[in-house]
Structure 1
Amino acid sequence: MRSETISQSINIVHPVTLSHGKNAEVWDTDGKRYIDFVGGIGVLNLGHCHPRIVDAIREQATRLTHYAFNAAPHTPYLALMDRLSAFIPVDYPVSGMLTNSGAEAAENALKIVRGATGRTAVIAFDGAFHGRTLATLNLNGKVAPYKQKIGVLPGPVYHLPFPSQDNGVTCAQALNAMERLFSVEIDIEDVACFIVEPVQGEAGFLALDIEFAQALRRLCDEKGIVLIADEIQSGFGRTGQRFAFSRLGIEPDLILLGKSIGGGLPLGAVVGRKTLLDNLPKGGLGGTYSGNPVACAAALATLDEMTDAHLQMWGAQQEEAIVSRYQAWRDRKLSPYLGRLTGVGAMRGIELVNADGTPAAAQLTQLLALAREAGLLLMPSGKSRHIIRLLAPLTIEPAVMGEGLDILEACLKKLV
C-alpha cells in the first residue's frame, strides 16, 4: 500500500507492506511470508532482529537514547570507534568519525580530502553509486534517475570505465582511459582523490580488477592522491571477508562504511589514515545525530558477531549455495535468459540477457513479480536494471536459502 502523504518520487520495488521479520524471513500486513534476498539492500548481513542486536538496543535505550557527540562525548561512540579501528584490516593508525549514513560518510570524505590535499577534483567510475545527496550524485556513474532534473552538481568530478571481469572492461582499457583523461581533461596534479567500490553494488555486483586496483594504489602514492574505498555495501562480511578491499591486495587511505555496520539502525562512518582525518579545524566534522548512542550499541553488538571465523563460514556457505545452484541451472539450460553470475563471495548477481546478449530488463521485471507472488523478495540492479542482486542475510539458515533458490529456479523457468 502507498499513502498519498509520501512523495511519488520515491520508487517502490515491491508493492507490499511489511510488518515484521526474523533473520531471512519477513511477513506483510496480510500475514504472507517472504524469504528476503534483499536484506534492506545490504543492511541486514546479520538478518532481521538479531537477538544480540535487539538486546543491545533495548539495554542502551534504558541508559541514553541520544547525545550529540560534539556537545559531550558518550561511551557508545568512544567504544565503537575503538572497536572499528581494530576491525579495519590495515597496517596504519586508524582514525575516524561516525555519520548517519553512507552518503553522509562520502560527503565528509570529500571535505577531508579537500582539506588534506588543497585540491578539489575527484575521479569516480562508470556505474558507481555513492548516494543521493547533492555532492554524491555527481560521483554516481549513472544519470537516470539520480541526476535527472537536478541541474549543475558540485564538482569537479570525472569518470573512468570500471574494469572488471564481470563487465568485460579490461585493466588496460581503464588505464588507457585514465591516460587520456589526464592528457585531455584535467591535470593530474589537481586531483584530490579517486573513489571506488571494490565491488560495485548498484551496477550489478561487479568486482574491481585486481591488477587495476594495484596500479591505482601506486599512482595515488606517486602523486599524493587520496584513495577512497566505498565499502558501504561490500563491507562487514558481504564477500566473506571483513572488507572487500582485502582481496585486491591494497590498503585505501579512507574507507566509507554504512549499511550493515549498525545491524539495521542508521549509522555510517569515515575511517582511515589519522593524518587525513585530523587535518580540518575543530568543528569541521561532526553532526547532531552522527554516532547516536543506540545505533552505536547496535553496531558494537554487530561487531561481536562478526568474527573472522563467522564471516568466512557464512560467506563460504552462501557462496557455495549460490554458485553450485547457478552452475546447475547453466548446465541444464534452465532459461534462455540466464546470463552471467557476477560478483565475489556471497555478494552475487545473476544477469538476465536476451539471445543477442542485450539486457533482458523486461524479463527481470517479470521475475520480480513472479518471485514475490511465490514468496521471495529480490532486488534489481545494473545499468539496464537486468541483474538480480542477491543480498540474503549471511546468517540465513541453509534450508531457507535452499527454499529461496528453489523459488528463484521455478520462476526463472517461467520467464517468457
Structure 2
Amino acid sequence: MLQIAFIRENQERVIQALAKRNVDAKSVVEDIVKLDEQRRAAQVELDGILAESNKLSKDIGEMMKNGEKSKAAILKEKTVLNKEKSKKLAETADALATELTEKLYTLPNLPADIVPVGKTPEENLNVFEAGEVPVLHEGAQPHWELVKKYDIIDFELGNKIAGAGFPVYKGKGARLQRALINYFLDKNTAAGYNEVQVPHMVNEASAYGTGQLPDKEGQMYHDATDNLYLIPTAEVPVTNMFRDVILNENELPVLTTAYTPCFRREAGSYGAHVRGLNRLHQFDKVEIVRVEHPDKSYEALDGMVEHIKDILNELKLPYRILRLCGGDMGFTSALTYDFEVFSTAQDRWLEISSVSNFETFQANRLKLRFKDKDGKNQLAHTLNGSSLALPRVLAGILENYQTAEGIVIPEVLRPYCGFDIID
C-alpha cells in the first residue's frame, strides 16, 4: 500500500507513475487527499476536545477540594457535552480512516523508473537469453502426450478426484517432481536462504498484508466457515511471518525459502497454451523471500535473478528473462523480471518464475519495519521470487529432454531421482 504522506506530498508524481501502468488514478488520488484532510481535521478537533476535557476534570477536582460545588457542577455539564462531541468525532474519524484505507487498497504500487512503458505482454523487454534449443527427433510430442505414453502424470484421474487442473503424479513422474523440489530447496539453502515450512491456509489479515486482497479475491480458494484462504503462493505465509515486526538494522537482510503447494482459481480457457501442465489450479512451487534494507533491495533483486539463472543453467534449459512493462506487472510490484523456458515441442515460451521487488508496498500493509542507526523506525523492502514453479519447468524438461528411447533426466537431477531416463 502506498504511504499516505507520500501521496499527499507527490500527487502529480503518483498520477504520472500509475499512468505507466495504464491506470488513470487522478480521481482516486484526489479522493484520498480529500479524505485524509477530513480525517486529520476531525482528529485535530477530537484531540482538542479531549485535551479540554482533561483540563476540565482537573479543574473540577480542584473546585471540589475548595468546596466550590456549584462551579464544579457547571463544568461537569460541559464535560458531558464534550463526551458526546468526542464520541461523534471519534466515529467520524474512524469512518473516514476506514474509507481512506479502502481507497488506498485500490491503488497499485508505483513502477520503478526502468519499467518499460507498455500495455500487453508483447511489450515486455527481453533483457537476457541463454541455452541452446534442442533439435528433437521426428515424432517428438508435447508433454501432455508424453505423460500418457510413459504413465507418469494422469490428468483424467485428477479430474475424477477433484476436477480439471488437479493432476495425479505417478511413479517416475512423482519421483521427478520430488527431485525438483529437493534440488530447488538445496540450491536455495546453499545460497543462504533459511528453509521454513508454513501453513497452506492464511487468514484475511495475511492476504491483505501481501496484497492478494482485495486485488485477487476471485482467484483464491476461500473457506467461508473459518474465513481462511488457500495460499496462491508461499510468498503469502512466509512474508506474513514478519507482519507487525520491528527488526534491528543489523538483522537485515532476512532470507527465507519454502516449498508449498499453491492453489489458484484462475478463469478457465481452452487451447494448447493451457493444456496439461501449462495451467493448473493446484501446483507445487519453491519460493524465495527477502526482507531488505531500502538502500540494498535492487542489488538484492539482481542477486535473485542471478541465483535463478544458475539453477536454469544447471538444468540446461533454454530460457530468457523479461523485464515486465507497466501494463503487465502485478498489482504489488515495483519491478518484475519473468523467466521463461522455451518448449521445443510446443514451440513457445513458458513462464516458470517471476522475481519482484515490492519496495515498501507490502511492508506498509504489514507494518514491517526496522530500527535504523538513529533509533528511528523505517519501512523495510520486501522481495520474492519463484525458485522455481514446478509445472512448466517439468513440462520443459519432459519436452526438451525427450528422445526416441525415452526422456533423459538432466544430469544435475539424477542423484535426486535415482534414475537416468524415463522409458
Measured against the shorter chain, the TM-score band is under 0.3
Q: Between the two structures, name the one with larger relative contact order (CA 8 Å, sep ≥ 6).
A: 1
| TM-score normalised by L of structure 1 | 0.23
Structure 1 or 2, whichever has the larger Rg, is 2
Q: Greater helix share, 1 or 2? A: 2
| TM-score normalised by L of structure 2 | 0.23
